[in-house]
């Protein structure tokens, strides 16, 4: 299973990332980063329920710094 959370360094990057993914019709949601994720970030990440590998590729290609990926706990 893909890791659906894409970790970014700031809330500004999260908003930029969401805007980029919207242009490619990939659903994404800005949410608080879970405390158990072991990566220091601004506290926000993107939840991408489908196509998260493609989403990460597009974000990197469009200049968004990605800190890592994590699984979303239900």
What dotted CATH number matches 5-70?
3.30.70
Domains of the chain, residue spans: 5-70
Give the Å distances, CA to CA, from 53 to 12, 35, 42, 50, 60. 21, 22, 22, 9, 11
Angle 37-74-32 from CA coordinates, rounded to 5°: 45
- For residues 30 and 13, the answer to whether their CB atoms sit within 8 Å is no
State residue 25's pLDDT score. Answer: 98
Give the Å distances, CA to CA, from 57 to 41, 63, 66. 19, 10, 10
State residue 2's pLDDT score. Answer: 65
| The overall pTM is greater than 0.85 | yes
Question: Of residues 17 and 72, which shows the higher confidence score?
Answer: 17
């Amino acid at each position: 299973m893909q890791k659906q959370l894409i970790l970014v360094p700031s809330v500004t990057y999260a908003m930029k990332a969401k805007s980029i993914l919207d242009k490619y019709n990939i659903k994404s949601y800005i949410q608080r980063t879970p405390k158990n994720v072991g990566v220091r970030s601004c506290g926000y990440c993107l939840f991408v329920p489908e196509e998260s590998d493609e989403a990460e590729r597009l974000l990197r290609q469009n200049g968004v710094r990605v800190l890592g990926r994590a699984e979303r706990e239900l």
